[in-house]
């Protein structure tokens, strides 16, 4: 399709800028809470290794203890295919302020070389909106949505791979909060943060006692949950870091990181790092360079005035260790299934 709507009311001079919408784009990647594994064409394996009960009495002739030994296994990520494709007809701009640029031979400048440029704004908007959908799919995606939603439904954008939370609520080894899940408010958010921290301390002490724990372990939540935390922090006598300073606050030393793709009423406490040897959350993609748009005339027809913008992705997400995740959420396995289809 071409432009859905165009303002044709322009008359006379104009300020040399155009205001675009606010985007949150790829929050999870920009804040460094996941490790990116790029160049994945088909399947990527997260290799895992562990050893339990390593000690035994000293012997002149050592013997291997029954049941002791290395455990080597893996988890996989199989990137799903999806794309963004848009068509623009320059003639739609003839009655707008951008008509002055149509005097050029064709709209083939990918980025503006100076002054305002409709192409640069269009590309920025396209990539940013695609980034928003991918960001949300990191946490809330579900393959079960495929074939059950039509274009325009919110879940239509989330059907290309299973997100972290879809995997967690179906994983019996993930450590769930001992607090019964309810809607989070500023009056109960502290209790949930404490509960997840206490569980990590009692179940997996190394995650909390490690000298890099305050660097690698993070509380991950939605922006609304983060604001509830900030609100309650302002109401308490102990306020942690100075409230008049910008930046991400901490809870008892561990960062509370808001992510735009996270759902409300959900908090995760785990190792979140860009280092694949440390971070528990992984993103597999076919190439870090796949953000480059391909732009050309529709169907390669030099006589077609319309221009097409196309970008393709292959992505999937997964985590390494279930028992290193501490989760509070009102979501269940049913939250990631399509609605029951009514019989015809």
Distance CA 66, CA 222 (A): 46
10 has a pLDDT exceeding 60:
no
- Whole-number average pLDDT of the chain: 78
Distance CA 91, CA 101 (A): 11
Q: Alpha helices of the chain — where are they, by DSSP H? A: 27-30, 118-140, 164-169, 189-203, 205-209, 213-216, 223-235
Q: Note whether residue 53 is domain-resident.
A: no
pLDDT at residue 17 in the model: 44
Buried b (16+ CB within 10 A) or exposed e, 34-58: bbebeebeeebebeeeeeeeeeeee
Q: Note whether residue 108 is domain-resident.
A: yes
For residue 2, with 0-12 CB atoms within 10 Å meaning exposed, 13-18 middle and 19 or more buried, which class applies? middle
Q: Note whether residue 36 is domain-resident.
A: yes
pLDDT at residue 126 in the model: 79
Q: Note whether residue 168 is domain-resident.
A: yes
DSSP 185-222: -TTTHHHHHHHHHHHHHHH-HHHHHSTTHHHHEEEEE-
Q: Note whether residue 11 is domain-resident.
A: no
Domain count, the chain: 1
Q: Side-chain half-sphere of 42: how many Cα atoms within 13 Å?
A: 0
Structural domain of 84: 29-47+70-336
Distance CA 315, CA 332 (A): 24
Phi and psi at residue 228, in whole multiples of 5°?
Answer: -60, -40
pLDDT at residue 186 in the model: 92
The CATH number of residue 321's host domain is 3.90.1690
Q: Note whether residue 325 is domain-resident.
A: yes
7 has a pLDDT exceeding 70:
no
8 Å CB contact between 84 and 130: yes
Among 7-21, 187-201, 224-238, 292-306, the range with the most confident prediction by mean pLDDT is 187-201
Q: What percent of the chain has pLDDT over 70?
A: 71
98 has a pLDDT exceeding 80:
no
Cα–Cα distances in angstroms (integers) from residue 133 to residues 126, 130, 189, 260, 262, in the given order: 11, 5, 27, 10, 12
pTM for the model = 0.80
Answer with the residue of higher pLDDT: 342 or 150: 150
> From the CA atom positions of the chain, what is the Rg in Å?
25
Distance CA 184, CA 258 (A): 15
116 has a pLDDT exceeding 70:
no
Among 9-18, 70-79, 158-167, the range with the most confident prediction by mean pLDDT is 158-167
Q: Note whether residue 3 is domain-resident.
A: no
Mean pLDDT of 112-134: 69
Among 16-20, 248-252, 290-294, 313-317, the range with the most confident prediction by mean pLDDT is 313-317
pLDDT at residue 271 in the model: 92
Q: Note whether residue 14 is domain-resident.
A: no
Other Cβ atoms within 10 Å of 182 Cβ, number: 11
Q: Write out pLDDT tens, residues 200-234.
A: 998 888 788 777 778 889 999 999 999 999 888 88
């Amino acid at each position: 399709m071409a432009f859905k709507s165009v303002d044709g009311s322009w008359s006379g001079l104009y300020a040399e800028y155009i205001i675009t919408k606010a985007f949150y784009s790829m929050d999870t990647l920009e804040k460094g809470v996941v490790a990116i594994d790029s160049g994945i064409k088909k399947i990527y394996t997260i290799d895992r290794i562990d050893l339990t009960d390593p000690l035994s009495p000293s012997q002149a002739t050592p013997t291997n203890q029954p049941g002791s030994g290395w455990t080597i296994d893996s988890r996989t990520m199989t990137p799903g295919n999806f794309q963004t494709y848009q068509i623009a007809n320059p003639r739609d701009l003839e009655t707008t302020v951008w008509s002055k640029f149509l005097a050029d031979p064709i709209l083939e400048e990918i980025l503006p070389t100076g002054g305002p440029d409709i192409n640069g704004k269009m590309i920025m908007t396209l990539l940013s909106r695609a980034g928003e959908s991918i960001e949300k799919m990191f946490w809330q995606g579900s393959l079960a949505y495929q074939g059950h939603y039509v274009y325009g439904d919110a879940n239509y954008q989330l059907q290309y791979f299973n997100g972290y939370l879809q995997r967690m609520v179906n994983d019996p080894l993930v450590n769930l909060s001992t607090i019964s899940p309810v809607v989070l408010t500023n009056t109960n958010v502290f209790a949930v943060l404490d509960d997840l921290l206490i569980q990590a301390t009692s179940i997996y002490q190394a995650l909390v006692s490690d000298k890099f724990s305050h660097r690698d372990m993070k509380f991950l939540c939605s922006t609304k949950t983060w604001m509830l935390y900030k609100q309650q922090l302002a109401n308490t006598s102990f306020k942690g870091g100075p409230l008049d300073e910008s930046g991400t606050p901490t809870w008892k030393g561990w960062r509370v990181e808001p992510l735009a793709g996270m759902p409300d009423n959900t908090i995760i406490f785990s190792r979140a790092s860009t280092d694949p040897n440390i971070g528990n959350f992984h993103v597999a993609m076919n190439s870090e360079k796949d953000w480059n748009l391909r732009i050309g005339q529709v169907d390669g027809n030099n006589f077609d005035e319309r221009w097409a913008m196309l970008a393709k992705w292959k992505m999937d997400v997964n985590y390494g260790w279930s028992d290193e995740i501490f989760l509070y959420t009102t979501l269940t396995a049913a939250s990631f299934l399509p609605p029951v289809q009514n019989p015809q």
